[in-house]
Amino acid sequence: MDLDAIDFRDIDPGQRTLMGPGPSDVPARVLQAMCAPCIGHLDPAFLSIMDETQQLLRFVFQTDNAVTIPVSGTGSAGMETCFVNLVEPGDEVVVCVNGVFGARMCDIVQRLGANLIRVDAEWGRTVDPEAVRQAAKARQPKLLAVVHAETSTGVCQPLEDLRDIAKESGALFLVDMVTSLGGMEAGLDRMGIDAAYSGTQKCISCPPGLSPVSFSPAAMKILRERKTPVTSWYLDMTMVGSYWGAERKYHHTAPINMIYALREALRIIAEEGLKPRFSRHLVNHRALVAGLEAMGLSMLVAEGERLPMLNAVRIPEGADDLKVRKALLNNFGLEIGGGLGALAGKVWRVGLMGHASRRRNVFLFLSALETVLRGQGLKVKTGALEAAATVYASETASDSA
């Protein structure tokens, strides 16, 4: 290959406002932390950073679980980590499915040779706990798994009833928290969640590349009592946990600079505080929805079942999905996501995650979308910014009351 014929320019993608389903905007402090010197993964200074990262992860997960670590890989690696460690061939596993990521869980369960008990719901709606209860009664599963925040649809699945069903049936409760961790309430210990995983690129506002996971003592007991080896060497928590634990036993070379970044992103969350952070996500969501509805647009998910950090907006008749997203990116430097699977071409997925969940971004998106839709000849109602501003004003009044 003639490399002289290729123009290898400096990387400069330009400034973007990331309001899609992930990644989210990354604070400058996090990017700066990534630039710290790369040292060895067994260097005493790095081992200290590992300890601090675990402490911060326990704070964000709201757990005392000893095994709370970042797995090397994105959120799907966290999903696979939980399943390969806790599920063996022939195990009965209930999976709740109301979107792409519940379906992905099913794929992993079947690849592991377990018996899948799939409980489906309409995309854009929550899973019916009674259907899950009936499925669990019939099969007495080892594991009950659910996506808390379904990124493909914007649905928030209530966890309390499913937690109770898992407890009634003697099953471990596994929760996908890729999109919800750091953006809304879901404390592991308080909620009785046995295993959970997330991703760094959503509400944590760190670049993609790590997947925080946490295993309860009950989950670790199941892991220690396995009859068969964990099918993935790389994700085997009996070995990875020994590197992150007191033994510091070498397993694989940790992504040092990514862990610097995660530690800094978690520090930012701790400085803000969980409750204020959750409140910030919620008020920005309410303002965004108020503005969209004032424009005449509608949401896919019914009020009361919506996520505050991922908003699925129905594409209005006459709008060109791809052209709208391209115009937002090219003219405003603003990224949103399209629909997945059955929702492709039917919804836009608008993220308000972590550092990107800001009043400025809500107003930017509403004004940019109105401009683009009008440019495509659509009749859009006025008053979007005023509607959003009213929400912020009411929240301010409430805070000072």
Same domain, residue pair 261 and 309? no
Q: Distance between CA atoms of 295 and 384, rounded to whole angstroms? A: 6
Averaged confidence pLDDT in the chain: 96
Mean pLDDT of 59-72: 98
Per residue in 79-104, pLDDT tens? 999 999 999 999 999 999 999 999 99
Same domain membership, residue 54 and residue 161: yes
> Strand 67-72 relative to strand 334-335: parallel, antiparallel, unpaired?
unpaired
Q: Which of 255, 271, 287 is the last residue of a domain?
A: 271
Residues 247 and 381 in one domain: no
Average pLDDT rounded to a whole number, residues 380-396: 94
Q: Give the separation between CA 186 and CA 142, rounded to whole angstroms.
A: 22
Is 289 part of a structural domain of the chain?
yes
Burial class (CB in 10 A: 0-12, 13-18, 19+), 193: buried
Instruction: Name 204's Cβ contacts closer than 8 Å, sequence gap at least 6.
Output: 60, 181, 182, 198, 212, 262, 265, 266, 269, 354
Both 331 and 386 in one domain: the answer is yes
Q: 233, 249, 271: which is the final residue of a domain?
A: 271
Residues in the chain: 401
Q: Are residues 236 and 330 in the same domain?
A: no
How far, in Å, CA of 64 to CA of 282, rounded?
26
Quick one: pLDDT at residue 352? 98
Residues 6+ apart with CB under 8 A from 196: 61, 82, 174, 175, 176, 177, 181, 188, 213, 214
Residue 247 clears pLDDT 90, i.e. is over it: no
**Bigger pLDDT: 166 vs 4:** 166
Is the pLDDT assigned to residue 114 strictly greater than 60? yes
pLDDT of residue 397: 58
Q: What is the pLDDT of residue 138?
A: 87
Residue 399: the pLDDT is: 56
CB burial of 360-371 (b: ≥16 within 10 Å; e: otherwise) equals ebbbbbbebbbe
Residue 391 has pLDDT above 50, yes or no: yes
Q: How much is the pLDDT for 9?
A: 86
Domain end marker among 248, 271, 294 = 271
Residues 232 and 291 both lie in one domain: no
Give the count of beta carbons closer than 10 Å to the beta carbon of residue 325.
Answer: 18
- For residue 304, being part of any structural domain is answered with yes
Same domain as 265, residue 225: yes
Q: What is the CATH number of the domain that holds 295?
A: 3.90.1150.10
Average pLDDT over residues 308-312: 98
Domain that holds residue 206: 28-271
Give the per-residue pLDDT at 401: 38
